[in-house]
Structure 1
């Protein structure tokens, strides 16, 4: 096989491929074995018709498309490897020649990973990030721990308040006509979470167990479902029960229940230490982000739209997975937030472009500095994963190898090493100025 690559413009080029005639013949054989199993030829059972008789009746050309479908993915991958290019989108294929006894010729218009012209990335000034834990922050952390260990108690009497969990049935309609996604039974709604259409939760506040109420809200003008945008909806709501958080007392007993310590004082000291470590990690993350952003800003690169859109789809999948972990899904989120899928994708596009740009720059720096990861480093990371997931190392390795993620792990470790390199070769600058708090009331 012969493959030649010619760049047309920016990140677009043409891959010119010619495949030997014997591989065409082998592909036609496979196509015949596939097609003949379904071919109806008088006098022969399916799958038993001789090749000459099949070709005489249907023509060898009837095998061409199946043969191309069999051969093309295989030889395209080989051609990409031979030309040493990195496609970032599906190619446009133009078949120039495919006949029995002849070579297979095709051209592929391919968008490839862009070239990166690095600017300054050593000696970048990165702002110092002071790390301290204030009493207010420690108190806030204690309050969060109280919230985390609070018990949900069913409210026997009284009305729902912001922060309560209301278990409700609701049945929504517009002009008396029910609409898709507007009905649910025994739905647990945290009041004040702003997860429903604006105005809904506020009207549930004040209801009591057993209450019925018509909740009237107006869909946003930019609602993703055009037939509902700007319309007034009425939800018939029934409250089954109200659950309210009961916070535990902050005392030594609380410390014993939630930690390994016997006194609240010891627990507070440990919490402060954890907060300090977390802040140090956050500070390191801020410095790393600044170093990457500055190195990225100094580089010259033209990113193909296909790479940005691919990253947007990755971010959408991640977002949907996080929603599912919370008992929701993307369709429900879009319904209650009044957004369309394209709205959400549009909001993610800038971040997607930044991610792609930063990764391309880091990859290029790694090449320039010959930054690689050793097998020992791979094994160490696999060991960490095994400890986290409580699985044998070899099982983790086998899973990653089976789904093709081992190379991804290697790439991720190289990126981490590259970021460490940027920090090691940066210059510490003055702390970033704090934003002035507004004195207006």
Structure 2
């Protein structure tokens, strides 16, 4: 989400035609204001708003009350300073500026509500005409440009044809799963020979930079070939035997010197190989609930089929969305995408990386199109999100970030991002509806049953949480998924 501060404070009543980027919007009383709308593009409009003295008066009164609480004038208690004295000591310019700052969000909200616009991102306000700073007569005239959600003619998504790969499990895949299971029950045996991939080596490591030791570790058990320690380690210890020492250059991965190149000295203390149990009936009884190796293999095949079925439906979901996007042109607001890309690259300190900029731009554009299309489908299908559905999604998301659910929700709430989560659940349900209506077959012509994965689309138990307009801002959303949608 964007920063919470305002940028109106520098605008004095004598400075007309000054641009005012909105950073955030505080809930305001909704007023009725005269508004005209000029469509600049499918995704951007210009609002011209006229606020009469009568409509501005509540903000003027609030300005006097607020200033009275702030100023110190001898003989008057805070909050009791009369307006004429405020005019004398502070000036009507300051009162008018305070009033406009106070009411601007409300006037803007009134305009977009009356004109039924769905704003995206932050608008920019140009105060064209100020009321008189003598008696506050005359209209306040605003011109505001803002990106808005484009209007779309939804395509017919009943019966979208989607083809996915069939579920086929080879003997090699079953053997691979069996090998993994045998590895879990293997034992490590010390061997007197050179290291080879798959062995377990016990290592001592010493890292130095400019001849000064910066880190060390002893007795590390490392699976050779796993690539889980230092870059280049596998290559330098290959073919070494117990008792041998070698050195190599590598960037350190953590600590005070993370990312810096160091001279790493590695000593091999011992070499062990994993001895696997025989894949027989005895192993089946030890490692599973089955009595025979054939029964165990049959179960492993079922597990692989289940995994592939999930992947198959995930693929169907992706292809359904791609097919849907191919049927409709979703206009994209250039500035909104540009701002999002800049924010993303700035957070990564990669503003000068043109190749990555192109990747993020493509990802952001895809994400925007997906979100807009699914938002509109969710409205058409009258999607509702239950409290249970939102809670389940938050728990799953917290796990992905390695956070406790309560902590995750607190962070989201502090940043005003709970509505974004509601929007994500609604989009997932909208896509599930489209998938449920699609005709999914594998390349062999067999119908793929996706019902287990589309039950999310069949409604939810109350209580519901608000969906409509929950995530219109489309700012600060995560575009790290370069497919443009989540799974």
- Deviation of residue 31 (structure 1)? 3.9
CA contact (8 A) 2:188 2:275 kept: no
- The whole-number CA distance in structure 1 between the counterparts of 2:293 and 2:359 is 44
User: Contact 1:199/1:217 (CA < 8 Å) preserved in 2?
Assistant: yes
Which residue of 76, 85, 94 corresponds with 2:126?
A: 94
Residues 94 and 272 (structure 1 numbering): CA distance in 2 closer, same or farther, change over 3 Å?
A: same
1:115 lines up with 2:151 in the alignment: yes
CA distance in 1, matches of 2:362, 2:179: 35
Quote the residue 2:22 is aligned against.
Answer: none
- 2:168 aligns to what? 132
1:93 CA drift (Å):
0.9
1:235 equivalent among 252, 256, 262: 262
TM normalised by structure 2 equals: 0.59
Distance 2:444 2:242 in 1: 57
Secondary structure (helix, strand or coil) at the match of 2:119 reads coil
Alpha-carbon distance change, 305 to 169 in structure 1, aligned in 2, over 3 angstroms? farther
Summarize deviations over 1:223-260 as a string: whole Å, max 9, x none. xxxxx9xxxx7513255998989576456676667655
Q: How does 1:46-65 map to 2 (within 5 A)?
A: 49-65=81-97
User: Could you tell me how far 1:208 is from its partner in structure 2?
Assistant: 9.0
- Compare the two structures and name the one with the higher helix fraction: 1
Secondary structure of the structure 2 residue equivalent to 1:237? strand
Question: What CA deviation, in whole Å up to 9, does each residue of 1:271-317 have, x standing for no partner?
Answer: 22121122122223323322332332232233223454577699999
Equivalent position of 2:432 in the other structure: 416
Contact 1:6 1:15 in 2 (8 A): yes
Other-structure match for 2:15 = none
The match for 1:349 among 325, 336, 361 is 361
Q: What displacement does 1:343 show?
A: 5.1
Question: After the TM superposition, which residues 241-320 of structure 1 pair with which residues of structure 2 at under 5 Å, given as runs?
Answer: 249=277, 261=290, 264-306=293-335, 308=337
Partner of 1:133: helix, strand, or coil?
A: coil
Counterpart for residue 371 of structure 1: 381
State yes or no: 1:80 paired with 2:112: yes
Q: Aligned runs of 1:178-197 on 2, under 5 Å?
A: none
Deviation at 1:18, TM superposition (A): 3.2
- Give 1:105 shift: 3.0
For the Cα contact (< 8 Å) 1:88–1:113, is it kept in 2? yes
Distance change in 2, residues 1:136/1:108 (3 Å): same
The alignment of Structure 1 onto Structure 2 pairs a total of residues equal to: 382
Q: Is this contact kept in 1: 2:320–2:434, CA < 8 A?
A: no
The one of 31, 34, 37 equivalent to 1:5 is 37
When residues 373 and 298 of structure 1 are mapped into structure 2, their CA distance, relative to the original with a 3 A threshold, is: closer
Change over 3 Å in CA distance of 1:146–1:427 after alignment to 2: closer
Q: Distance in 1 between matches of 2:156 and 2:331?
A: 18
Between the aligned partners of 1:151 and 1:66, the Cα distance in structure 2 is: 75
In the aligned structure 1, how far is the partner of 2:75 from the partner of 2:245? 75
Is the CA contact 2:247–2:263 (under 8 Å) kept in the aligned structure 1? Answer: yes
Unpaired runs of 5+ in structure 1? 219-227, 321-329, 390-394, 432-441
Q: TM-score, normalised by structure 1?
A: 0.64
Provide the rounded CA distance (Å) in 1 between the counterparts of 2:74 and 2:207.
64
- In 1, the alpha carbon distance for the partners of 2:78 and 2:241 equals 72
1:141 and 1:381 map into 2 onto residues whose CA distance is 34
Instruction: Report what 1:434 is aligned to.
Output: none
Does the CA-based 8 Å contact 1:127-1:428 persist in structure 2? Answer: yes
